[in-house]
Amino acid sequence: MNNNEILLLKLGEVVLKGLNRRAFEDKLMSNVRRRVRACGSFQIYIRQSTIYVEPQNENCDIETAFAACRQVFGIAAIARAVPCDKDVDAIVATAKQYLSEEFAKARTFKVESKRADKLFHLNSIQISQAVGGELAEAFPHVAVDVHKPDLTVYVEIREKHAYVHAPSVPGAGGLPIGMGGTAVSLLSGGLDSPVSSWMIARRGVQLEMVHFVSPPYTSDQALEKVLQLARELTAYTGRTIVHIIPFTEIQEEIRKNCPEEYFTLIMRRFMMRLAAAVAKKAGAGALVTGESLGQVASQTMMALGVTEDVTLMPVLRPLIGMDKVEIIRMAREIGTYDTSILPYEDCCTVFTPRHPCTRPKVEDVREAESVLDIDALVERALAGETWVRVKP
């Protein structure tokens, strides 16, 4: 590691905002500060659509800070860079020293320059030509190839310094957490709900989670699996609360009193009622589910209409048009796949009907559940709620 190394965080769609862009930038800066706090003392500031993360002493863990910043929503790309004087000789010397290992491995290279400081005496093309010519002499075994180089040397002329770096890596994208309001996500132990939670969080939404437990039909290991999924998500979302709601009585009452083909639909309706109650208490503006159209019987178009009939709150379904292959790919990318496939069942698999209704009518399902004391069941379930605060 170069002792002068810093991080350059390139803003994503925040730059497209209008009069409220400053609010988005301030929130993003706050989120970055919080995420790198455990990595040491860093000076963090923003200039020209780039956030600078500069270590203040040798004790800073820039490797961990780099990894943490890659998971901050709102950042489009990240580069590790070294600042130097705004002078061609200084830029060349810095590139030779900082990128010596990359040059040793490369057969071809090019220089790509960006002049954010318009007062600098050379334009972008002239900077690339001057720096590229010097580097070609310094590394004669590496040929210049402006079309498909093995190594691209990036030079940025900015307000205070010039910066030299190799190619950026992608950031998490999206919008800063906290700018999209709050929502409550129904988190099961499967593949879908962690991915849907991640996708909504990526739109800047602060999340709280709801999980339903049905002892003795579901185990302590199943609950721990869900809490682990929540922890894995907090790498992106920051700390969150998981509301744990007992669901055994509701499921047993449905099994005893309702037609079997409606078991799952009535169960889902209770989940929506309970999640909406938690959302109201949390000041949230929407519910989030991992439903994908047609994936299972309770996720047909008519079934989804029946499920959301019990709440006026918006129900966000980011996976609605995705297939299982895409969802699995995303679960792998965000790091939840291995936990999701652990063999501990959640309450959604309890009392599954043999022949579920796929084309239900709202009126029929309302009538089927009317034999239950819905308000009392909801009240008792909410009275048994516990919660866990989960941190990264």
Per-residue pLDDT of the chain in tens (392 residues, 90 and over written 9): 456 899 999 999 998 888 899 999 999 999 999 999 999 999 999 988 899 999 999 899 999 999 999 999 999 999 999 999 999 999 999 999 999 999 999 999 999 999 988 899 999 999 999 999 999 999 999 999 999 999 999 999 988 899 999 889 999 999 999 999 999 999 998 999 999 999 999 999 999 999 999 999 999 999 999 999 999 999 999 899 999 999 999 999 999 999 999 999 999 999 999 999 999 999 999 999 999 998 888 899 999 999 999 999 999 999 999 999 999 999 999 999 999 999 887 777 777 888 888 899 999 999 999 999 999 999 999 999 999 999 87
pLDDT at 345: 75
**H or E stretch covering 143:** strand 143-144
**Angle 374-383/248-257 helices, nearest 10 degrees?**
160
The answer to whether the predicted template modeling score (pTM) of the entire model surpasses 0.95 is: no
pLDDT at 65: 96
**Based on the structure, what is the number of domains in the chain?**
3
CATH number at residue 357: 3.40.50.620
Nearest to 214 by CA among 266, 269, 257, 251: 251
User: Maximum distance among all alpha carbons in the chain?
Assistant: 85
Ranges of H-type helices in the chain: 21-36, 62-69, 88-98, 100-105, 124-138, 192-201, 220-237, 248-257, 263-282, 301-307, 324-334, 337-340, 362-369, 374-383
Q: Both 22 and 38 in a single domain?
A: yes
Is residue 93 domain-resident?
yes
- Which two three-digit tokens encode residue 31? 């989120």
343-to-184, 292, 338 alpha-carbon distances in Å: 25, 22, 11
On whether both 254 and 360 belong to a single domain, the answer is yes
State which residues form the domain around 211.
182-390
* 90 and 39 inside one domain: no
Same domain, 65 and 91: no
What CATH number does residue 17 fall under? 3.30.70.1510
Tokens 């190394």 belong to residue: 5
- pLDDT at position 2 is 57
133 and 196 in a single domain? The answer is no
Residues 282, 365, single domain; the answer is yes
DSSP string for residues in 201-267: HTBT-EEEEEEEE-TTTS-HHHHHHHHHHHHHHHHHH-SEEEEEEE-HHHHHHHHHHS-GGGHHHHH
Burial class for 366, CB neighbours closer than 10 Å (0-12, 13-18, 19+): middle
Same domain, 300 and 193: yes
- Choosing from 84, 99, 128, the residue where a domain stops is 84
Is 118 within 8 Å of 127 (Cβ atoms)? Answer: no
* Exposed e or buried b per residue across 258-275, where buried means at least 16 C-beta atoms within 10 angstroms of its C-beta: beebbbbbbbbbbbbbbb
Question: Is 176 a member of any domain?
Answer: no
Determine, yes or no, domain membership for 174: no
- 71 & 13 share domain: yes
CA–CA separation, 89 vs 100, rounded Å? 16
- Residue 379, classed as helix, strand or coil, is helix
